[in-house]
Amino acid sequence: MSIEGHSSAPGANVIVEHYCEHHDADGTRCKEWGGWGHSPSPAVPTRWWCFEHFPHKSYEQEQALRRKLEAAEGGKIIQ
């Protein structure tokens, strides 16, 4: 894995790296980027998840994810 692309420009490291905080049952942490943050109040640090694990999706977002997963399922060859 490359770490190229990290800028050394002033202020570039202000953005904290936050990957999805979801853990599988066996303790393996999700490797997806946590692009979806949620905080119940300004006093609570924001938690981050990938889209698939984000627990605060709207109904429309849930439907979009479901369609995407079903499309992936349909791409498998079932014999």
Cα 66 to Cα 24, 30, 62: the distances in Å are 19, 19, 6
At closest approach, how far in Å is the CB of 15 from Zn ion? 19
At closest approach, how far in Å is the CB of 13 from Zn ion? 24
* Of 32 and 57, CB closest to Zn ion: 32
| Beta carbons of 45 and 16 less than 8 angstroms apart | no
> Contact residues for Zn ion (CB under 5 A)?
20, 22, 30, 32, 50, 53
* Of 8 and 58, CB closest to Zn ion: 58
**Longest C-alpha distance within the chain, in Å?**
56
